[in-house]
Structure 1
Amino acid sequence: MRIHPECIPCIIKVRFREISQHISDRGEMLKAFSEILRIVAEYVEKDVPNPVIAMHAFRYVKEITGLDDPYSDYRRKANKYALKFLPYAREFIEKADDSYGRFRRACIVSCLGNLVDPGVAGYKFNPKQWSEMLEGSNFRLDDTKRAFELMHGKHILLLCDNSGEIVFDRLLVEILKENECSVT
């Protein structure tokens, strides 16, 4: 996987936003922005993958801000919103007619959890849109039937990377366990 040119401005914009939220001194901000540009340029020249560039730049943000988790406030709020929405998501899943339908709806809910991602430039998560998205959600490519057929009795590895996401993934884990899957 190589860096795509259109990814470079996104990486920079997200890191700039993180710095701006935690540093108010103009001079310190300019110094930090300059270093972000240097870091990104260094790794772009080496043609390393996007996530590696973003990781190195994010490590610098953590260093310059002195914060182990620059998103701690965001995560707290996202988890709070997700927990408020949890009963609606559970009801949405339980309204399905059969085991496959519940699995499919749990997959939809799990995917909606991925919307809680502050690391995307130009995207602002709005929790008020969750219920609208839930009822109108569908997969462009829907392999849930095949996944459902293959999953029984299997071991499933579930990766969670966004704040708020685990709240919804928990519902999917419940459905997987109902279908005799072990989940890590």
Structure 2
Amino acid sequence: MKSLVDCIHCYLKQAVSCMEMIKVPDEKKIEVLYNLIDFIKTLKPSASPAYNSSLVLLKTYEFINNPDPYYEAKKSSNKLALELYPRVKEKVETADDPLYEALKVSVAGNVIDLGIQRDFDIDKELDHAFNFGFWIDDYPLLKEKIEKAKDVVIVGDNAGEIVFDKILVEILNGMGKNVYYIIKSGPILNDATKEDAEEVFMNKIANVVESGAALLGVPKDFVSKQVKNLIYTADVIISKGQANFETVDDFEDVQANVFYLLKIKCEYLAKKLMFKQGSLVLINGERLKERKRNIF
């Protein structure tokens, strides 16, 4: 997915959020932002928003001399989610269709996005997911594909959110599925890394695979050969969150097996794709391709 004009101010908002995390003084913030404006001029509009955002964030880390400003926030998100985990898991396991409820829980966790929004109400988001479900809902097709699948790949997103993904993985394990869970190879924003996976014990229930890059999403030209192979050969790929939404679509040949699971947070993207902003979406990759063809 190519970057849009409206992405530019989001790059700067993410940089501000990053600096707020470690309480950078205002004078330094202004200096960094002025330098970032010059840096943003060098970015390619043809690149995905996720890739350009990654470059801006990594440049911000250089300017503030901190390789992981979200470290403590990720710890807090994991702790909060682990406290909620037993109650949420019980609700999922006692539901009429545990797989469907696990998907709702997984997407509810997508609210833990500290890039733009630094506060969130996970209890409220869970209640909304359980009660209202998906605005676009390709669950019948996903369930059919999962039932026939041997291998399921989940392209993970944030710390904290990874705890709610555990519930989905456990349901898939109970269905006899071999689950691969993709994380980042290094810190970027509040995305889950190996340390987060081990902290919440995701590595005990899934094959945890590092993406090969410390970049948002899974940009095809930068991830490892192993990750490319997993995406190209898996029976089902569940892509979590917007950055993955913006990069997994580059794997064009496998979109029939891809299901995007996210909350629509970007106003401009919502307008372009005719999504309802704030809605929870579970959409198959082929259906998304058709939607894009009809709009762009």
Q: CA deviation at 1:31?
A: 2.0
Q: How many residues align?
A: 179
Partner of 1:92: 91
Which fold has the larger relative contact order, with Cα–Cα distance below 8 Å and residues 6 or more apart in sequence? 1
- Is residue 2:3 matched to residue 1:3? yes
Gaps of 5+ in 1: none
Give RMSD over aligned pairs. Answer: 2.0
Q: CA deviation at 1:21?
A: 3.6
In 1, Cα distance between equivalents of 2:138 and 2:158: 23
In 2, Cα distance between equivalents of 1:106 and 1:83: 15
In 1, Cα distance between equivalents of 2:26 and 2:134: 45
Query: Which entry has the higher C-alpha Rg, 1 or 2?
Result: 1
Report the CA distance shift for 1:150/1:69 in structure 2 as closer, same or farther (over 3 A).
same
Residues 95-110 of structure 1: matches in 2 within 5 Å? 95-97=94-96, 101-110=97-106
Partner of 2:166: 170
Partner of 1:147: 142
Whether the 8 Å CA contact 1:23–1:29 is kept in 2: the answer is no
- Counterpart residue type for residue 154 of structure 1: K
Q: CA deviation at 1:25?
A: 4.0
- Is residue 2:52 matched to residue 1:57? no
**3-state SS of 1:139 partner:** coil
In 1, Cα distance between equivalents of 2:121 and 2:133: 19
Whether the 8 Å CA contact 1:160–1:166 is kept in 2: the answer is yes
Q: CA deviation at 1:136?
A: 1.7
- Is residue 2:173 matched to residue 1:180? no
Whether the 8 Å CA contact 2:169–2:179 is kept in 1: the answer is yes
In 1, Cα distance between equivalents of 2:162 and 2:25: 35
Gaps of 5+ in 2: 181-296
TM-score (norm 2): 0.56
Report the CA distance shift for 1:180/1:42 in structure 2 as closer, same or farther (over 3 A).
same
Whether the 8 Å CA contact 1:155–1:183 is kept in 2: the answer is yes
Q: CA deviation at 1:16?
A: 1.8
Partner of 2:43: 43
Q: CA deviation at 1:143?
A: 1.7
Partner of 1:29: 29
Q: Which has the higher strand share?
A: 2
Report the CA distance shift for 1:26/1:89 in structure 2 as closer, same or farther (over 3 A).
closer
Residues 151-162 of structure 1: matches in 2 within 5 Å? 151-152=146-147, 153-162=149-158
- Is residue 2:128 matched to residue 1:133? yes
Q: CA deviation at 1:131?
A: 4.5
Report the CA distance shift for 1:65/1:177 in structure 2 as closer, same or farther (over 3 A).
same
In 2, Cα distance between equivalents of 1:134 and 1:17: 26
Q: CA deviation at 1:24?
A: 3.5
In 2, Cα distance between equivalents of 1:128 and 1:155: 31
Q: CA deviation at 1:105?
A: 0.4
Q: After superposition, give the CA deviation of every residue in 1:9-32 in whole Å (9 maximum; x if it has no partner).
A: 112111122124435344433221
Partner of 1:17: 17
Q: After superposition, give the CA deviation of every residue in 1:121-173 in whole Å (9 maximum; x if it has no partner).
A: 35631234244324324011222222122113420111112010111111111
Q: After superposition, give the CA deviation of every residue in 1:60-79 in whole Å (9 maximum; x if it has no partner).
A: 12212222211111111111
- Is residue 2:114 matched to residue 1:115? no
Identity over the aligned pairs, expressed in percent? 25
